[in-house]
């Protein structure tokens, strides 16, 4: 079960991989370290670049992930590409206990599940200006295999279509001009409600 009626309300940030979620998120966490806290997800994917266990993710084996699923330890979980990702009940509790606004960075299937819980999250979609630009960004970061890039682009199309459905997100931000997008992003996150 998700923790109920958290105040301040958690914020879900979603949008295609490569849309710039982490850039804005990291900036927010750096500028407002006492106000926001990141929900550290579990994933079965391998660490990328300088990622550290327990910081960006809890990196776990598929076995351990599935055990936590069986134990009811996740608020939501999904398969993305060939890996599993999930938000544990504990990850959200950890942030709430620090009296910080909990921020979840999750993909579309996770958003659908979160909407059915009593997490009462505010939902933000961050989107690339176009699929072409997204492809360039994914290739530019040079951390993913060709297969992973193809999968992520296919997934991006689904995510953008989902975000177009009325009422899916409270706010959509196009990450075109970085500073403009940051201003919108920050305003949404700082808005009290
Ligand atoms: P990446 O491998 O690039 O870190 O993440 C791939 C996708 O998985 C991103 O769209 C990210 O938002 C999503 N993701 C990360 N953590 C979670 C999670 O706990 N649950 C779900 N459903 N998606 C997640």
DSSP letter string over 29-87?
A: HHH-TTTEEE--EEESSPP-TT--BTTTEEE--HHHHHHHHHTT-EEEEEEETTEEEEE
Mean pLDDT of the chain: 93
Query: Would you say the CB of residue 159 lies under 6 angstroms from ligand 1?
Result: no
Question: What average pLDDT does range 31-52 have in this prediction?
Answer: 96
3 pLDDT higher than 60: no
Per-residue model confidence (pLDDT) at position 18:
85
Give per-residue pLDDT as tens, 114-172. 999 999 999 999 999 999 999 998 888 777 788 889 988 999 999 999 999 999 999 99
Question: What average pLDDT does range 58-76 have in this prediction?
Answer: 98
1 pLDDT higher than 60: no
Rounded Cα gap, residues 89 and 140, in angstroms:
34
Q: Specify the long-range contacts of residues 137-141, CB closer than 8 Å, at least 24 apart.
A: 137/18, 137/20, 138/17, 138/18, 141/18
Of residues 104 and 82, more confidence is placed in: 104
Task: Ligand 1, residue 105: give the atom nearest the CA.
Answer: 12
Question: What average pLDDT does range 94-102 have in this prediction?
Answer: 95
Residue ID of nearest Cα to ligand 1 atom 11: 106
Query: Would you say the CB of residue 169 lies under 6 angstroms from ligand 1?
Result: no
Distances, alpha carbon 175 to alpha carbons 22, 121, 133, 163, 164, in Å: 12, 22, 10, 14, 16
Give the number of other Cβ atoms within 10 Å of residue 96's Cβ: 17
Question: What average pLDDT does range 39-68 have in this prediction?
Answer: 97
């Amino acid at each position: 079960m998700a923790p109920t009626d958290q105040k301040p309300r958690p914020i879900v940030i979603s949008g295609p991989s490569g849309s710039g979620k982490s850039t804005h998120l990291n900036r927010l966490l750096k500028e407002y370290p006492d106000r926001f806290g990141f929900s550290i997800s579990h994933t079965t994917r391998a660490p990328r670049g300088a990622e550290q266990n327990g910081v960006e993710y809890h990196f776990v084996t598929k076995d351990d992930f599935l055990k936590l699923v069986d134990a009811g330890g996740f608020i939501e979980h999904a398969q993305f590409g060939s890996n599993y990702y999930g938000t544990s009940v504990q990850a959200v509790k950890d942030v709430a206990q620090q009296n910080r606004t909990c921020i979840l960075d999750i993909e579309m299937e996770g958003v659908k599940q979160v909407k059915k819980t009593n997490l009462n999250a505010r939902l933000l979609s961050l989107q690339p200006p176009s699929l072409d630009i997204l492809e360039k960004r994914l290739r530019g970061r040079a951390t993913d295999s060709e297969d992973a890039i193809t999968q992520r682009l296919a997934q991006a199309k689904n995510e953008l279509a989902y975000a177009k459905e009325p009422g899916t997100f409270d706010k959509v931000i196009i990450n075109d001009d970085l500073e403009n997008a940051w201003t919108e992003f920050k305003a949404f996150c700082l808005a009290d409600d």
